[in-house]
Each structure stands twice: as structure tokens, then as C-alpha cells.
Amino acid sequence: MASSLHAGLRNLKILNIIRLIILLTEAGLLAVADWYFGIKPVWPPVLFAFFLTAILIIYTGLRYQHQTSISSRVLFTQLLCDTLLQTTLLYWSGGVMNPLISAYLLTVAISATLLPLKRRWMITTLTIVCYTLLQNWYQPLQFENTSNHSMTAHGMMGSMMMLHLAGMWLVYSLSACLITGLVASMADRIRTHRAEIAVSRENQLRSERILSVATMAASAAHDLGTTLSTMSVVLGEMADDHKGNAELKDDIALLRSQIEICRSRLAGLVATSQEQKPVVQNAHEFGLQVLDEWQLLRPGIEIGFHCTASQPLNVEADSSLKAALINLLNNAADASPNHVELELTHEEDMVLFKIRDQGAGFVPDISERPGYTTISTKEEGFGLGLQLSAASIEKLNGIVRLYNAYTGNNPEPCGAITEIRLPKY
């Protein structure tokens, strides 16, 4: 969120750069008009307006350089000062006859980009009023009649027209470049800022849902622990009562093993809820540990494990990552009961676990926003497993990507791939 916090500050810096460019352009154009054409503005008030603009540029640069956010009120005040200083300068340098009057459009463009509706209309209305007043009230430019610049009335009008046309071209070219290069970047930053706010809001909502699930899981773990203890006692009594029944003995042993798996998972759930520091592990060994534990839960599923990395890979892992991978493997097995594949590979500084299944593929709502939706493609599913898994992986600076696999020109997917990307250590 650091970039969004500083978006307003960067926009203000861009505004200050635009202000400086306009100041230098105005000073240069008026100096050329005086030196080459002998067209003189009323220099004392013009220089005073330049001085005030320079003070505003310096003040803005020093005042707001250490702030992390800039309000729309500050930007409105800045643009208001720009409009008033621009109007003062134009009043003393020809009014509407000065081609620099088109610089009002830059102020309007910036206000339309940065300000809320009410304030942008206030700036727009102010520039229209100032433009209208400058049509009737302004100090006309004076021609200097010297031996070097002696002009007839016709020559004066020609020089004025040449200067006006050159100034219009310059102001248009400068405005077009500034709007395309700087004002558009302001709009991009605002869009990025709004997108980051939306993502932050979604993350907060997801965290609240996960916290709610965790609270219910803690209560369920307590209830399940009592239930499992009761079941274990009953199975023990059944084993004592039916010692001679070999078939029943095998079923009781299977049920006991499943109860122990449930107990170990509950113990892991309690351990995960406690503060644990992730440790760096060999990715291949970690994958084997995950598969060993998963096949105790799904012994009838055939799974292939492939490591295509040519060098040892290490990842930062904890018990929550193991639970996340097991959950994603369960999703793949539900979609493809016959065969699932797990591939370990790497790309640059990332370690990749790819889970492939031969199911019907992902629906767009799930694949586009993994971890941000509670949609489930299973009749008995609640859509929470993927959400919790994505949160556990993102906690370790990882990413979950979901996409479908295709063969040849067949538009129908031939399976799905769940890609877990983790930083390499």
C-alpha cells in the first residue's frame, strides 16, 4: 500500500513540475517578444507575478516533500493559486491577446483528473470567469519605437500576428505534451490507487472470513476431540467383544487408524493456530512429506511426483503450508479420482509446485480470483478450502495460480493445473 499512500504526493510533484515548465515558457516567450519584436508587457507587475509563482513552487517543494498523503483540499488550493497567478500575469501582458491564455486548459485538465466533482467544477468555473473578464479588462502590450525597431502600424500588426501565431503553436504543443506525458500519468496513479484500495478492502473482508472460520474451527476441534475419544473407547470395547471375528477386526483396525489420523490433524490444527516461525526446508523432501501424509487420507488415489529441477531447491515452509498443499491435492483428487500429478520445478527465483488433474477444469470465477471467492464446484463444498489455502500460501509471500490444461486444438479443457509459487531460498 506504500505506492497508494504516496500517489497524492507524486501528483503534487508533477503539478509543481508543470507549474515550473509553464513559468519558464511564459518568461521565455515574453522575453523574446520584448527583445525581438519590441512588444513590451508591463514588466514590474509581470516580474512580481513570476516571483510569486517561483515562491509557490519553492514552498510546495519544501512543504510537502515529507508528507505521505495529500488531500484533495491541498490540490484544490494549489490549482486555485495557479489560476489567480495566471490571471494576474495575463492581465499585465495583453489579456486575451496573449496566446498563453490557453494555459487555462492545463489547469482544467489537471483539476478534472485529480479533484472531486464539486471542486473540479469550481476550478473550471473560475477559469471561465477569468477568461471572460480578460476580454475586456487587461493592460495592452506596448510597442517600442526605436531606431532598431521602428515599425509602421501595418508592421506592428504583422509582428503582433506573427507572435500570436507562434505563441499559440508553442502553447498547444507544450500543453499536448504535458497532458499526454504528465497529466495522463496522474490519472494512471489515481486508477492504481483505487485498484489497491479495492484489493485492500477485499483482503480485509477475506481476513475477517478466515478469522470467523478459525473461531469456528477451534470450537469444532474441541467437540471433535471429545467425539473421537468416545469413538476410540467404543472401538476398543468392540475389539474385545469380537476377538474371534477376523473381518470385523480388520475394519476396527482401519477405523482406529482413521481416528488417529483425525487426532493428528486436530493436533496440527492446534499447533498451526499457535505462533510458529517458518523454517527453510528442502522443497523435494517437503513435497514427499506432504504426499506421505496425504496418501494416508486418500490411499486409493494414484499420484505421480516428478521433480524437473536440476539443483536443490529450498523453500520457507510451516505446518500451514503443508495443510494448504494437502487441501489443494484433495481438490484435485475430487475432480480426478483416478490420477493426480505433483510436479516440482523452478523459474528464476521462484519454486513451483504444480498439481495436475484430469477433471473438467476450473470455472472462470474461480481461476481468475483464487482465494477471493467462496464459489465451489462440488455439491457438498463451501468454497472455503481454496480461500484458506491461498491465504496460507500468501502469508509466505507465495502465489496461487489456477488455469486449465488443453491438448491440441480442442477448446475443451483436459484437466486443471494448480500452481503454487514460493520464493526460493
Residue pLDDT, tens place only, 209-267: 666 666 666 667 667 777 888 888 888 888 888 777 777 888 888 888 888 888 877 77
Q: Is the pLDDT of residue 85 over 90?
A: yes
| The one-letter amino acid at 15 | L
Query: What is the predicted pLDDT for the residue at 206?
Result: 65
Fill in the DSSP letter of residue 411. Answer: S
Helices (H), 37-116: 43-63, 72-91, 104-114
Q: Give percent above pLDDT 90 in the chain.
A: 15
- Dist CA 160 CA 165 (whole Å): 9
pLDDT tens, position by position, 278-332: 888 999 999 998 898 888 878 878 888 888 877 888 998 887 888 889 888 988 8
Is 50 exceeded by the pLDDT of residue 3? no
- The C-alpha cell at 63 is 512543504
The average pLDDT across 104-116 equals: 86
Which ranges constitute the DSSP H helices of 274-345? 283-297, 319-335
Residue 382 binned pLDDT confidence (cut-offs 50, 70, 90): very low
Three-state SS at 405:
strand
Give the residue-averaged pLDDT of 185-209: 70
pLDDT at 371: 52
CA torsion 38-42-46-48 (nearest 10°) is 130
Is residue 130's pLDDT more than 90? yes
d(CA 50, CA 296): 79
Q: What is the DSSP string of 132-158?
A: HHHTTS----EE---SSS---HHHHHH
Which range has the top average pLDDT, 102-106, 127-131, 295-299? Answer: 127-131
DSSP secondary structure string for all residues of 3-23: HHHTHHHHHHHHHHHHHHHHH
Task: Tell me how far CA of residue 350 lies from CA of 60, 251, 317, in angstroms.
Answer: 43, 45, 14
Q: Which run of H or of E encompasses 271? A: helix 246-273
* Residue partners of 47: CB distance under 8 A and separation at least 6: none
Can you tell me whether residue 419 is helix, strand or coil?
strand
Neighbours of 195 (CB within 10 A): 11
pTM of this prediction? 0.50
Mean pLDDT computed over every residue of the chain = 79
Phi, psi of 29 (to 5 degrees): -65, -40
377's grid cell: 464446484
Q: What is the CATH number of domain 279-423?
A: 3.30.565.10
